[in-house]
Structure formats: structure tokens, C-alpha cells
Structure 1
């Protein structure tokens, strides 16, 4: 048989590296590949049309997000109902652990690729070509008669430096006003123990460490291609931990990456980077190098600002690590954004009080808050099942928090902050993006207008955080009594009004940033960078 046509289906709000790496491996092996974005159910018709036009022999569906699994299940049924008779396989963190339930549901899915997919999908394509037996396809699970058969799994990381760079779109995405790309410098996590995370289990069968690194030279070559060929200036590393455990290793790696970028003629003074990091990885020497490299924003893994909460979530970090990280990153002009998992099975009101105090003491930083959710393969999943706390139904489990008042507070949160129309989730994401963008603009286009927008952004974040905090306190107060529907509606309405006003302010600042970035690029092309911020007349003209 000829080489296979392979269609990947995945959420693609940005270039999804979990399918773009396997896509590159398949192309290298001689197969044809297309990617069909499926981020919301409204994408269904377009996906079905793409299948009809491309006529693939293999459809590979990435189910990275457990919460979206029902939508992908429904899509699979519709693909079969539309007459597709080829092979459908699914992969990702969720199917890796829930492969048996997925196959037993008999939704038209023929196989599940567990763990990493590059080698497995190339081998599956070879099976469809008639070049190998299905039993020899690594990491594959499938039906044999009335039984589910599990093929042997690969017990080591692939050579990350030998993998072809992920498939990229012909034109780069634009995020925060700049040509943008995502990339990863590693796989796995050196901590691999957090209660709510499945990464440790995902790599548990591997020999040795559960963390593998690309060389700095390999990373720099990919950045250089994006920088020189696509004009990318904003890069976001999606590593679960961009930094390593030991300071000395981070210093060597960051110095080496800067040297490798210089060798590739990448002017990292003209680029900006966003990363995720654990608080215990941030030291003075590391923060200095992050600043020098051009890291403008860090999504910091705070997760809980109490000793008992950090212990319950098996974070492995301490409160003094969090305080040190905030202080050092602030001193280096790097914006911190964070999330607080104030709700978890063992959460107490005292713990929530401490987390609220932390929010109050850090008013300049955009944040979100919520519950540690159950994901397949995680220690949390095992805990709530063992302790009889599990509620709801597969695949989107719910659970009961042991303290009834905390559980009630969480339910109030769902009925108010998390109402679809409340606007809080949108506000939290908007302010995180705006904070990053203010720092991107400050780095790439320094000047009076950029400083003013940064100041306006900081002011908005502080005012918004105070209002959000006030509503969290109102939610807290409701836990002390019987709550009526009117109580919930009143709180939700107040949250909606406040969030909507702040979102409108954020949108106004965003439009100013749009105009400044556009004007700066035009003036730079004309050989007069910064002129638009120097001249008061031009600032008025461009409304920046």
C-alpha cells in the first residue's frame, strides 16, 4: 500500500505541539499529514469536511484535556456516522490511563496510543501500509476478538535532539501583538509528585529520571528558524518546569542557551519569552539570567500559599520559596502570574483564610483560584476514590471536600464566580494576558508610552484584584448560613457587573497597545525606532 494520509484532530487555540511533533515524525517517514483544529463543538462540521476532502486512512485524535473528552467522544461518533471507515486512534494523557474504558465504550475508536506518540504513530502507519503486524506497534492498545490487548510500551524517553522539529503553520500566529510560537525544552517533570498531576504516572514506566532535556544547541536552532524564517519575536515555553531542580544546573543551562542563541545570530534583546517555573527554582543568580535572556513573564507554580496546603498537594516547595520567588522576579522586572488551588479534599477554612491573605498581600499580580481537579492517573484520583469522596460520573469526576463548610464554599463558587455569564474566568485570563503584554511591549518597544501603558495595567490589576477579593470574602461569609437562590443570584450579579467593567478597561488598554506596536513597527521599518513615543504629537496622532 502507498504511504498513509494521516489527519490529526486536536485543540489548536495555539500550535499544539502534542500533535505537531508526531506529525513531523510521520512526514519524515514519508506520510502525508493534515491537522484539523477542534477546540469547540462548533468545529465539528469543518472537521468532517476536512476528512471528506483529505480522505485519510488514519485519524489520530489528541485528547489532552480530560474535561473536553465528551466533546471528542461525540465527534468520533459523528465521524463514523458520516461514513469514515479508516482507522481511528486516540492518544494523550487521559487516554493513556483510561484506555480500557474508552475502548469498552465502543465509540468507533479502534486503538489507543499510550504515552508518547512519535514512534507509535509511525509504526501504526506502517501497519496500515502492510509493513508490520499490529502486535509490534509500540504503546498500542486495541481489541483482539473479545479481549483488549496491550502491546509493550517504550520504557525510555526518545532522543529529544533527534526528533524533527514540530510541524509549523506557513504563517506564524500572532499573540499579544507579536509573531508568536510555542516550544518545549524538555519532557516530563523532575518533581513528578504533585497530587493533582498525572505527569509522574505518565513517565513512571521509564527507566531512570522522569525528566528529559533537549540540548541548548537544539533549542537555539529551533528558535533561530522561527526567528529568521517566520519573524517570531515572542516565544512561550510550555515545559511543566522550564527550570531544573539545582541552581548550578540552571546557571549552566541558561548561560549555554544564551551562547547558543548568539551563535545562531538570534538577537535575544529583540525577543521576549514566557515560561512556567516552580518557586523553589528561582534564586538570585537564576532570576538575573532569566532577565538577561528576555523572560518577561513567569507563570509561577504557587498553587497554595499555606504550609498545610502545599503538603496536601505534595508540592515539595515551601512558603519561603514562594516569597523569595516573588521578590526576586519583581526586582528583575519580570511579571508573575499564578493560580491558587484553595479547594482540595483536605482544605480547611483556616487554610482558605491564609490564601486570601496571600492574595491581599500581592495585589499587583494577576491570579486565578479554584479546586484541584481529578485527572486520570493522578495521586488525587487515587485519594478521592480510596477515601470515598468521589462524586459525579466518568470522565468528568466531582468529589466532596471533607470539611462541609469548605465544600459549601466551593459549591457557592461554582454557582457564582463560575457561572458562564459571570465573567470572572474571562477577566482572570484577560488580566494575565494583559500583564504579559505590558511587559512584552516594555521590552520590545521601551519608551514613555510603553511605561504609561504598563502603569495603567498595574493600576487596573490592583483595582480588579481588590474587587475580586471583596467578592471572595462575600462568598466566604455565605458559608456560615443557609444560602438562598437570591443570595447566589445577587453575588453572581455583582461579580458580573464588576468583571464586565474591568474587562472593558482591559480592552481599551489592549487597543492602545495594538496601536503602539503597529506604529513602532512602521517607524522601525522607516529607520526611526521610538519616534512615536518621543513625539507628543505622534502619541496623540496614534492615540497611544
Structure 2
């Protein structure tokens, strides 16, 4: 029996989704869609985030699709959860016999609460979904017992029940991305460049206590470098994709594999642009490879610096040094690449002097771009245990997206935290050295990237200030983090079952 599967990407109200007039395709759902298509199922994607559809418009479009199975998920998993629930509540009465499947990082860990509180959700997919969802839909088609499908959470005798953990996918090339589910012309980034999100590797070996992704992927793995480069080249040649945004936590983690990828992409001879995130230590390690980075198309890496205090870095188990951070920024500039340095507010309960010192450190680091974020504790991370006693000031879960204050600070009220936050952004990005560099840099790609960043950043800056002023009266210290979310789930941080690694050559033989 061939089932019609609808993949639903819900609208997301975060600043990153709505302020820039550009959207990226939902890689997670496309990664599930490819294996479902290959298994013989009819698959359609409804990207409600692309056009910010209302719940009523989503209802109409879902009914027109007439799915046999509805699968919903979003990359902004925690902050998208209330919207997912709202949509499924509206759809349940009009699709009474259709299984509603919910996947993503947040439901992977909160499956028990979701099945207990939200009867409209039938099945939760825990962990990576390519194999699990395909096996699930095959079981639904044949009427097989879902308790035999690893990686699910279902109701058994009316109670939430988790099946065995799914084994991680060691061969990431075993399942393909369903690119045919989208119209590439609908998606752009970096100033109207046709764009997609790609993933070379999954997982990260570093034990950062606050990271909500490390345990979800459980163990680091990477794709075949040559096959991955060939896929990027094909997307450029066949669909005109220019910009590739890496979803990896650490694409550079394996130096040999990353070098092989860069060389393979250079050999493909396609004019593409690559952006992503990595660790400053990998940039320093790869000082001799940085000419390959730039030649392959890397224009920007976000450096997960997080803090400029060595004690804080040690407490969150970052495993980084301020020396490497500064050197990475210098090396990237030397090789024509843009460094975006992060600073996260709230690891400690800062005082005004701490903000002043952080501002001085940001100026000393001299990054091309900065991204300031608010610490947002996830229930399944070890960091949750260290802040479980702190007070919550933001009870709207849609605001738990790193761009809104969610935790109270004993020493600095929310309005002054925002003031420091926004003044630090202005002070760093509008320094004369940076403005001059943006205007006079010899590389046109660098100048374009900086103009785009300043254009988007200006709108986001004003939006964040206006939004805070509108909500200021509702920010009140309330329950603790533990009372708000429940007991810690950090003991279950690893979502997948580890499997023994096979010793394989770095590259496959060409087909």
C-alpha cells in the first residue's frame, strides 16, 4: 500500500525567520523526504514558513493535499513547539484518522510530556529521522506493530511509551536529500543568492555543557568528501544554487576529510559561496589549509567563542582558549574570509562591569561581524542542571530562541541587559576601522557580504529594541527554570544508540 506523506514545515516567528526577506529550505524534512520517495511513497512538502502562512491557510492546504500521514518538524525546535501544537489541534478534527508524527530536537527529549499533554500528537520520532521515519511509514502501510520500530515514542495502553533507541546512521551517504521536493527559486540568502542548507557532518566531540545539538547526534560522523562536493556542484549546475549554508556543528572537525572535501570542490570548478560555523581552534590548526578554504568558496565562518572570560569557558566545558580565538580571527582576515564572533549573555549572572569588560574584549578581538545571543537552557543539557535554580522572566516558549532574554539576573535588570547588548553591537559594528574595511576591501565578495550583513543587522537591531519595549511590562521574575520545564533530562542527553565504527577508507572508489 503506497501512502501519501505530507511533510509540514510550520511558520516560525523568530527574528531570524521573519525580518530578513529571505528564506532557506528545511533540510531536516528534505532529508526525511528523500528516503521516503526512494521507498516508493508519494511525498509532498508544505513549507508554511516560506510564506508565513496562517493556521487557517495551513488547514486549507493540508486538506487539499489529503495526506495519509502528516509529519511535522522545524529546525527551530523549541521555539516552534507552541506553533506545532496549535496547528495540529486545528487539523485533528478534520483529519481524524491520519497519524500525526512529530519530529525534531525538542520532541526527541520532551516526548513524554508531549504525548501526555497533547492528544493530537500520535507518534514522536526520537533522534535522526531518515531510517526511523521510513521504517515507521512502512509499518503504517502494512499495519505492523509500531513498538517494533526503534526511535519512536507512542502511546501504549494510553500511556507514553518509548521504543528502543534508534542506532545512529554511520554511513550518511546511505540516504539522500529530497531536493526535488522544493523549487530552488523560492529560497535565497546572502543578498538574494539562490541558497540551500547542507550538512557534511553530524555531531561534535566537544562536551560543551550548554549545546542542545551534541547529544542529539550522539557521535560525530561525516559524509564522503568527494560525493558531498559532487552534490554541491550538481546543485549549482542543475539548479543555479550559489550559496551553501552548512548546518554542521563542526564541519572542519576531521582535518583529513575536510581537506579532501575542499580539494574535491575546487576540482569541480564551480563558483559557489560557503558559510557555516566552526571552532576557532580548527582555524588555527588549519593555518596551512586556509588558502584552500577561500579557493573552495568559504567566505564566512561563525566562530563559537561564546565568552571572553577563561573561567566561564572552563565552567561550560568549551575547551577553547582566548589566544586561539584571537588568532583565528586574524588568520581568517589574512586569507580574505569573514569572521563572525559570538558572545553569549547569561552564562553567569553578570554585573555592569562584566559587560564593560566583554565590550573591551570584543573590540580587542576585532571581528568582522558579531552575533550576540542570550543563554537559553535546554532541559536535556548538563548546563540545565547548573541554572535550574535561576528565575524565568520569559514564559512564552516561542521566545526561547537565543534572541530573547529568558533568565533573570540578580545584578542587572532586563532593560539594562538589553541596553548593554545593543550598545555592544553598535560599538563593535560601527567602529571606524570596520566601516573602512567594509568599504575599501579589495575583494568584491567580502564587500557584498558586509553590505548585506549591515542591511539585515540594522533591521534586526531596530526590531529587537521595538519588541522589547512592547513586552517590557510583561517581563517579571517567576518560577525557577526547573519549575518551568520540569526535572532535568541531562541523563538522557544522547538520543541515539552508539554502534561500533567500521574502519573504512576516507574516500570511496569512484562509481
1:150 equivalent to 2:162? Answer yes
Could you tell me how far apart the structure 1 residues matched to 2:91 and 2:47 are? 14
Q: Which residue of 1 aligns with 2:310?
A: 307
1:253 equivalent to 2:268? Answer no
Q: Which residue of 2 aligns with 1:104?
A: 116
Offset at residue 102 of structure 1 (A)? 0.7
**3-state secondary structure, aligned to 1:90:** strand
Q: Which residue of 2 aligns with 1:238?
A: 247
Could you tell me how far apart the structure 1 residues matched to 2:46 and 2:416 are? 38
Cα separation, partners in 2 of 1:460 and 1:141, compared to 1, 3 Å: closer
Offset at residue 273 of structure 1 (A)? 1.2
1:58 equivalent to 2:69? Answer yes
Contact 2:266/2:295 (CA < 8 Å) preserved in 1? no
Offset at residue 134 of structure 1 (A)? 1.2
Could you tell me how far apart the structure 2 residues matched to 1:261 and 1:366 are? 26
Offset at residue 181 of structure 1 (A)? 2.1
Could you tell me how far apart the structure 2 residues matched to 1:456 and 1:7 are? 38
Offset at residue 143 of structure 1 (A)? 0.7
Number of residue equivalences = 434
Offset at residue 190 of structure 1 (A)? 2.1
Q: Which residue of 1 aligns with 2:8?
A: 9
Q: Which residue of 2 aligns with 1:126?
A: 138
Could you tell me how far apart the structure 1 residues matched to 2:47 and 2:110 are? 23
Could you tell me how far apart the structure 2 residues matched to 1:166 and 1:459 are? 30
Could you tell me how far apart the structure 2 residues matched to 1:75 and 1:426 are? 38
1:202 equivalent to 2:204? Answer no
Offset at residue 161 of structure 1 (A)? 1.5
Could you tell me how far apart the structure 1 residues matched to 2:394 and 2:188 are? 39
Could you tell me how far apart the structure 1 residues matched to 2:5 and 2:150 are? 18
- The 5-angstrom pairing of residues 452-491 of structure 1 reads 457=451
Could you tell me how far apart the structure 1 residues matched to 2:425 and 2:132 are? 37
**3-state secondary structure, aligned to 1:14:** coil
Q: Which residue of 2 aligns with 1:530?
A: none
Could you tell me how far apart the structure 2 residues matched to 1:68 and 1:255 are? 36
Alignment counterpart, residue 171 of structure 1, candidates 178, 184, 189: 184
Alignment counterpart, residue 384 of structure 1, candidates 377, 382, 387: 387
Contact 1:295/1:334 (CA < 8 Å) preserved in 2? yes
Cα separation, partners in 2 of 1:187 and 1:366, compared to 1, 3 Å: same
Offset at residue 103 of structure 1 (A)? 0.8
Alignment counterpart, residue 34 of structure 1, candidates 40, 44, 56: 44
Offset at residue 391 of structure 1 (A)? 6.2
Alignment counterpart, residue 21 of structure 1, candidates 22, 31, 51: 31
**3-state secondary structure, aligned to 1:8:** strand
TM-score (norm 2): 0.75
Could you tell me how far apart the structure 2 residues matched to 1:47 and 1:213 are? 36
Could you tell me how far apart the structure 2 residues matched to 1:460 and 1:51 are? 38
**3-state secondary structure, aligned to 2:67:** coil
Which digits, 9 at most, give the CA deviation of each residue in 1:318-337, with x for residues without a partner?
Answer: 10111011100011110112
Q: Which residue of 2 aligns with 1:288?
A: 291
Offset at residue 349 of structure 1 (A)? 4.2
1:188 equivalent to 2:187? Answer no
Could you tell me how far apart the structure 2 residues matched to 1:26 and 1:38 are? 20
**3-state secondary structure, aligned to 2:173:** coil
Q: Which residue of 2 aligns with 1:482?
A: none
**3-state secondary structure, aligned to 1:404:** coil
Offset at residue 68 of structure 1 (A)? 2.0
Cα separation, partners in 2 of 1:262 and 1:358, compared to 1, 3 Å: closer
| Structure 1: unaligned runs, 5 residues or longer | 205-209, 473-484, 490-544
Could you tell me how far apart the structure 2 residues matched to 1:275 and 1:123 are? 32
Cα separation, partners in 2 of 1:400 and 1:311, compared to 1, 3 Å: same
Q: Which residue of 1 aligns with 2:230?
A: 221
1:45 equivalent to 2:59? Answer no
Q: Which residue of 2 aligns with 1:495?
A: none
Contact 1:202/1:377 (CA < 8 Å) preserved in 2? no
TM-score (norm 1): 0.71
Cα separation, partners in 2 of 1:311 and 1:59, compared to 1, 3 Å: same
More helix by proportion, 1 or 2? Answer: 1
**3-state secondary structure, aligned to 1:235:** strand
The RMSD of aligned alpha carbons is 3.7
Identify the structure with bigger relative contact order (alpha carbons < 8 Å, sequence gap 6+): 2
Offset at residue 215 of structure 1 (A)? 1.1
Q: Which residue of 1 aligns with 2:508?
A: none
| Structure 2: unaligned runs, 5 residues or longer | 12-22, 474-511
Could you tell me how far apart the structure 1 residues matched to 2:31 and 2:453 are? 41
**3-state secondary structure, aligned to 2:377:** coil
1:77 equivalent to 2:92? Answer no
Which digits, 9 at most, give the CA deviation of each residue in 1:287-330, with x for residues without a partner?
Answer: 23212222111111111122122223321111011101110001
Could you tell me how far apart the structure 1 residues matched to 2:421 and 2:97 are? 44
Cα separation, partners in 2 of 1:327 and 1:153, compared to 1, 3 Å: same
Could you tell me how far apart the structure 1 residues matched to 2:125 and 2:235 are? 30
Could you tell me how far apart the structure 2 residues matched to 1:87 and 1:454 are? 46
Contact 1:38/1:44 (CA < 8 Å) preserved in 2? no
Larger radius of gyration, structure 1 or 2?
Answer: 1
Offset at residue 83 of structure 1 (A)? 4.0
Greater mean deviation of Cα atoms: 76-85 or 145-154: 76-85
Could you tell me how far apart the structure 1 residues matched to 2:53 and 2:411 are? 39
Alignment counterpart, residue 126 of structure 2, candidates 103, 114, 120: 114
